[in-house]
C-alpha cells in the first residue's frame, strides 16, 4: 500500500452516475439518458452548504486531485485541491466531473448509440457550455446541493463558472473564473480550426467512425496538441525553458528534431494522440467557439451579468496570450458595470496560459485567501460537525 | 495589349541564369552547378553603383514587381517597387531572385537529380542563409555589381540582408532589415515544426518522393499555411477583419465553417497547397531555424556586426508577434553597441507580420525617405546617363 503526501486527498475513486431525465440541448437534439463520471473529495456538511464544483478545461476530466490505485501522478489540479490547499478539502466538499461529450467515462462519442449498436462517433450531439451547466445542475440535484459555495474553473472551465452565474444565479454564492475569456477571439477560433482540420483530414479519422475501423487519427491529434501546446506556453516561457538548445549540441542538416523544443512538442503530441479521443477534441473545441453568453443579451456582457447573484473572483496571468489579462479585464469591467462584487488578480508569471495549473506562490496565496473568505461565508449554524 | 498603372514597372519577364562554379554549402555538400531564376527592373548605371538586391521571405520569389503577360496580379512587393515608389526604379536597378531550394525556377527539390534521373525531392541539400548570400554574391558578380547600393529584405529576407552585411561587408552600402529577427525564438521554431510535421506526416508526402507518385501532400501544406497565416496576422487585426462574424449569420451545430475566419483560413490553405512545393517549404523553414549569425562570434551579435561597413535601416511593426519590435530592437542594440550607423522605425499598424508587405503610409514614407538617402549616396560622377 502506498503512502500519500499529507496535503493530498490520497487514494480516490470515481463514480459513474446515470441520469434518465431527457436533456434538451442547444443544438435542438435531446439526450434521453446519459452518464456523468464524477469524483468527490471531502465531506458534504449537514445542510450541503460547503460544496464546490470544479469545471474542467479542454482536455480535463473528473480526476481533479488525489491518486488512483497504483498511479504515481495525481489528478490534474492536485496542486490546488487537498487538505490545507487553496481548495481545502477539510472545509469543502469538492466535486469534479467529466463533461458530456468527454472521453473519460461520461456519455460521449465513444458511447454505443442504441439506435445503431455502434459508437456515436461524430453523431454524438455537439455540446455547448450552457448544456454542460444544465447537466451540472442536475448533478447538483443528485448530490443534494441546492447552492454551491463556489463554482470554479480555469480556461474553458472558467466559461462554465461564468455561465453558472448567469443561468442559475441563486445556485452559487461565489464564482471563480481563472485564465478565461468572455468569448473566443478570431485568433482563438483560428487555432481551433487548424486543430479540427488536422484531425478531420487525417485519413485515419474515417469521417469520425474510426472506432469501427480499429483506427486512431494519431497524426491529427498529435498536430492538434502541438499547436495547442504552443498557445498554452508563452514566448518568454519557451525561451526560458528551451531557448535554442540543440539536442545534439550542434546543427545537423536533416529533418530529425534539431532543437529541444521540437522533441518536446513531438513527445507531447504523440503522448496525447494515444490518450485522447479525436471526436471529443473536436466537440470540445466547438463548445469553446460557441461560447458567448452576451449574445442573448444584446451582445452586452454587463447586461448578461446583471442577473448574477454570486460574488466573483477573476484571475489572469501576465504572459497568457491564449486568454490574455485583457480578456479577463473585459469580464471584470462588465461585472463592475453590472454593479457586482468582484475581486481581480493579475498574476505575474512567465508560464503563459498553463500558469493556471501551476502552483505559483502569489497565485496560490491569492486563491487561498479568497477560498478562505468563501469558507468563512458558509453559514455558521449549518456547518456539519461543529 | 494591357496598360499598366503609371507607377508600375509594367510588363516584366524573368530569366534563368546558369552557374557552373561549384558552391560549397554549410551542410558539407556541394552544388556542382545550379540555376537562379532572376528578375530585374530599372537600368544598371555605367559603374553599376545603383543596384539593389531584394531578398525574399519564406514563400517569396524573384517576381517582386510588375506584371507577367495576362496576369492581373503584380509581383509580391509591387507596392514598394516601381517608378516613384520607395524603391524607385527610375533611380535603382532592382534585382529579385528565387533562392536556391525554391520552387519558382531556381535549383531546388523539383529539379532532376542527374545521379538518379528523378527529382531530388528530400535529397536536395538543406540550405542556410549564408549559402543563399554566397549564391547571391555570385549573382552580383554575374550582373557586374561589385557593391550593392542596398540589400533589402523583410522577414527571412531581412535575415539575408543582415548576413550580407557581416559576410561581405565591402559589397553593400546600405542594409535594410524589415520585420525580421537576429534568430528564431523557441516559439518560432515550434510553429515551424508543426508545419513540418503536418507536411511530412501527410501520407501523400511519400517521404518527400511524391513527384514520382503523381501525388501532392495537400493536407499537410494546407495545415502548414493555416498555422503560418495565423502567425502573420495579429490578434487585433484578426478581430478587426473577422471578429466573430458568422457565415450563416447564426450558429449551426456541425463541423462546417461557422465563423468567417475559418473559411478564410481554409481558402488560404487550400490555395497554397496547390501552388507551393512541400519539399521547398520544409527546406525554407529549416533555413529559418538555422539562422543565427551571432553563433560563430561567441553568441554576441554586436561582435558579428562589428565587421559590417554598411549603414542600416531597421523597421518593425507594432503588432507583429512573429518577429516583434523587441526582436528588431535586439538588432538595433547590437548595431549601436558595434558603433554602426543605424536608423530604426517602429511602425504602428494592426496588420501583424503581414504589415511589411502592405503600403502603410507611415511605413512607405519612412522607407521612401531612407531610399532617397541611398539614392543621394550614389557617387555623382558615376550616375549613368546624367
- A289:B219 CB<8 A: no
**pLDDT mean over B329-336:** 98
Of the residues B263, B284, B305, the one at which a domain ends: B284
pLDDT of residue A174: 98
- Confirm or deny that B333 is annotated as ligand binding: no
Per-residue pLDDT tens digits for A1-27: 468 999 999 999 999 999 999 999 999
- Return residues 159-198 of A near B (CB < 8 Å): 183-187, 189-191, 193-194, 196-198
- Does A315 map to a domain? yes
Instruction: Tell me the pairing of strands B81-82 and B112-113.
Output: unpaired
Residue A381 has pLDDT above 60, yes or no: no
Residue A209 has pLDDT above 80, yes or no: yes
Q: Place B379 in a pLDDT band, splitting at 50, 70 and 90.
A: confident
Told to judge if A123 belongs to the known catalytic residues of this protein, a careful annotator would answer no
Q: Place B381 in a pLDDT band, splitting at 50, 70 and 90.
A: low
Of the residues B284, B305, B337, the one at which a domain ends: B284
User: How many Å apart are CA A120 and CA A130, to the nearest integer?
Assistant: 21
Q: Longest C-alpha distance within chain A, in Å?
A: 72
Q: Place A386 in a pLDDT band, splitting at 50, 70 and 90.
A: very low
Does A343 lie in the same domain as A194? Answer: no
Structural element, H or E, at residue B51? strand B51-55
Does B194 lie in the same domain as B169? Answer: no
Does A372 lie in the same domain as A329? Answer: yes
In DSSP terms, which residues pair with A315 in a beta bridge?
Answer: A178, A345
pLDDT of residue A247: 86
Residue A384 has pLDDT above 70, yes or no: no
Q: Which of A123, A194, A238 to mutate to test the interface with B (most CBs of B within 10 A)?
A: A194
pLDDT of residue B216: 96
**pLDDT mean over B303-317:** 98
Of the residues B284, B318, B338, the one at which a domain ends: B284
Among partner residues B28, B125, B197, which is closest to A223 by beta-carbon distance?
A: B197
User: How many Å apart are CA B227 and CA B273, to the nearest integer?
Assistant: 13
Shortest Cα distance, chain A CAs vs residue B64, angstroms: 29
Instruction: Tell me the pairing of strands B112-113 and B30-31.
Output: unpaired
- Does B68 map to a domain? yes
Length, in residues, of chain A: 386
Per-residue pLDDT tens digits for A87-142: 999 999 999 999 999 999 999 999 999 889 999 999 999 999 999 999 999 999 99
pLDDT of residue B354: 96
- Does A10 map to a domain? no
Q: ipTM, 2 decimals?
A: 0.94
Does A259 lie in the same domain as A144? Answer: no
- B253:A126 CB<8 A: yes
| CB burial readout A86-106, b (16+ within 10 A) else e | bbbbebbbbbbbbbbbbbbbb
pLDDT of residue B3: 87
pLDDT of residue B328: 98
Q: Place A86 in a pLDDT band, splitting at 50, 70 and 90.
A: very high
Residue A382 has pLDDT above 80, yes or no: no
- Does B9 map to a domain? no
Which triple of cell numbers denotes residue A320?
Answer: 497568457
Per-residue pLDDT tens digits for A211-222: 989 999 999 999
- Return residues 302-331 of A near B (CB < 8 Å): 321
- Confirm or deny that B72 is annotated as ligand binding: no
Q: Place A60 in a pLDDT band, splitting at 50, 70 and 90.
A: very high
Q: What is the DSSP letter of B235?
A: H
Among partner residues A126, A227, A289, which is closest to B227 by beta-carbon distance?
A: A227
Per-residue pLDDT tens digits for B265-307: 999 999 999 999 999 999 999 999 999 999 999 999 999 999 9
* Portion of chain A with pLDDT greater than 70, in percent: 98
Per-residue pLDDT tens digits for B226-262: 999 999 999 999 999 999 999 888 889 999 999 999 9
User: How many Å apart are CA B350 and CA B232, to the nearest integer?
Assistant: 11
Residue B28 has pLDDT above 70, yes or no: yes
pLDDT of residue A103: 98
- Of A34-48, A239-253, B26-40, B104-118, give the lowest mean pLDDT range: A239-253
- A190:B230 CB<8 A: yes
- A197:B269 CB<8 A: yes
Does B280 lie in the same domain as B239? Answer: yes
Among partner residues A189, A244, A321, which is closest to B186 by beta-carbon distance?
A: A244
- Does A7 map to a domain? no
Shortest Cα distance, chain B CAs vs residue A234, angstroms: 8
Does A120 lie in the same domain as A44? Answer: yes
Does A132 lie in the same domain as A81? Answer: yes
- A193:B126 CB<8 A: no
Q: What is the CATH number of the domain that holds A54?
A: 3.40.50.1820
Number of domains chain B contains: 2
- Secondary structure (H, E, C), chain A: CCCCCCCCCCECCCEEEEECCCEECCCCCEECCEEEEEEEECCCCCCCCCEEEEECCCCCCCCCCCECCCCCCCCCCCCCEECCCCEECCCCEEEEECCCCCCCCCCCCCCEECCCCEECHHHCCCCCHHHHHHHHHHHHHHHCCCCECEEEEECHHHHHHHHHHHHCHHHECEEEEECCCCCCCHHHHHHHHHHHHHHHCCHHHHHHCHHHHCCCCHHHHHHHHHHHHHHHCCHHHHHHHCCCCECCCCCCCCCCCCEHHHHHHHHHHHHHHCCCCHHHHHHHHHHHHHCCCCHHHCCCHHHHHCCCCCEEEEEEECCCCCCCHHHHHHHHHHHHHCCCCEEEEEECCCCHHHHHHCCCHHHHHHHHHHHHHHHHHCCHHHCCCC
Residue B206 has pLDDT above 50, yes or no: yes
Residue B2 has pLDDT above 80, yes or no: no
- Of A40-54, A289-303, B241-255, B345-359, give the lowest mean pLDDT range: B241-255
CB-based contacts of B147: which residues, under 8 Å, 6+ apart? B49, B170, B171, B172, B173
Among partner residues B227, B244, B254, which is closest to A183 by beta-carbon distance?
A: B244
Q: What is the CATH number of the domain that holds A232?
A: 1.10.1740.110
Does B194 lie in the same domain as B170? Answer: no
Does B122 lie in the same domain as B142? Answer: yes
Does A157 lie in the same domain as A265? Answer: no
A203 contacts in B (CB within 8 Å)? 203
- Does B146 map to a domain? yes
**Residue A144: domain span:** 15-183+294-382
Does A321 lie in the same domain as A179? Answer: yes
Per-residue pLDDT tens digits for B148-194: 999 999 999 999 999 999 999 999 999 999 999 999 999 999 999 99
Does A268 lie in the same domain as A212? Answer: yes
pLDDT of residue B386: 40
- Does A8 map to a domain? no
- Does A4 map to a domain? no
Catalytic center residues of B: 155, 320, 353
Per-residue pLDDT tens digits for B55-102: 999 999 999 999 999 999 999 999 999 999 999 999 999 999 999 999
- B222:A239 CB<8 A: no
Amino acid at each position: 500500500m502506498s503512502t500519500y503526501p499529507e496535503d493530498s486527498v490520497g487514494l480516490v475513486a470515481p463514480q459513474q452516475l446515470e441520469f434518465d431525465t431527457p436533456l434538451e440541448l442547444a443544438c435542438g437534439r435531446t439526450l434521453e439518458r446519459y452518464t456523468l463520471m464524477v469524483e468527490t473529495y471531502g465531506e458534504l456538511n449537514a445542510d450541503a452548504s460547503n460544496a464546490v464544483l470544479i469545471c474542467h478545461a479542454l482536455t480535463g476530466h473528473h480526476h481533479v486531485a488525489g491518486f488512483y490505485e497504483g498511479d504515481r501522478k495525481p489528478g490534474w489540479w492536485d496542486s490546488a485541491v487537498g487538505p490545507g490547499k487553496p481548495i481545502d478539502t477539510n472545509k469543502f466538499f469538492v466535486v469534479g466531473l467529466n463533461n458530456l461529450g468527454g472521453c473519460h467515462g461520461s456519455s460521449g462519442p465513444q458511447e454505443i448509440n442504441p439506435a445503431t449498436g455502434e459508437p456515436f462517433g461524430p453523431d454524438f450531439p455537439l455540446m455547448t457550455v450552457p448544456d454542460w451547466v444544465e447537466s451540472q445542475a442536475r448533478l447538483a440535484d443528485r448530490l443534494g446541493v441546492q447552492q454551491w459555495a463556489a463554482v470554479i474553473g480555469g480556461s474553458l472551465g472558467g466559461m462554465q463558472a461564468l455561465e453558472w452565474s448567469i443561468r442559475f444565479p441563486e445556485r452559487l454564492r461565489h464564482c471563480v473564473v481563472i485564465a478565461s475569456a468572455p468569448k473566443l477571439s478570431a485568433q482563438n477560433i483560428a487555432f481551433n480550426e487548424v486543430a479540427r482540420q488536422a484531425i478531420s483530414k487525417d485519413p485515419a479519422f474515417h469521417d469520425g467512425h474510426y472506432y469501427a475501423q480499429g483506427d486512431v487519427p494519431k497524426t491529427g491529434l498529435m498536430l492538434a496538441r502541438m499547436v495547442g501546446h504552443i498557445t498554452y506556453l508563452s514566448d518568454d516561457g519557451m525561451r526560458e525553458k528551451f531557448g535554442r538548445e540543440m539536442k545534439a549540441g550542434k546543427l545537423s542538416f536533416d529533418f530529425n528534431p534539431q532543437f529541444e523544443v521540437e522533441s518536446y512538442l513531438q513527445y507531447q503530441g504523440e503522448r496525447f494522440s494515444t490518450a485522447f479521443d479525436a471526436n471529443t477534441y473536436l466537440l470540445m473545441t466547438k463548445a469553446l467557439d460557441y461560447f458567448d453568453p452576451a449574445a442573448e443579451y444584446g451582445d452586452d456582457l454587463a447586461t448578461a451579468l446583471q442577473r448574477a447573484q454570486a460574488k466573483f473572483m477573476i484571475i489572469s496571468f501576465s504572459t497568457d496570450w491564449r486568454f490574455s489579462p485583457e480578456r479577463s479585464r473585459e469580464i471584470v469591467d462588465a461585472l463592475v458595470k453590472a454593479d457586482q462584487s468582484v475581486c481581480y488578480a493579475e498574476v505575474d508569471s512567465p508560464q503563459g496560459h498553463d500558469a493556471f495549473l501551476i502552483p505559483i506562490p502569489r497565485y496560490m496565496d491569492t486563491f487561498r485567501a479568497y477560498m478562505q473568505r468563501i469558507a468563512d461565508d458558509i453559514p455558521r449554524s449549518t456547518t456539519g460537525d461543529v
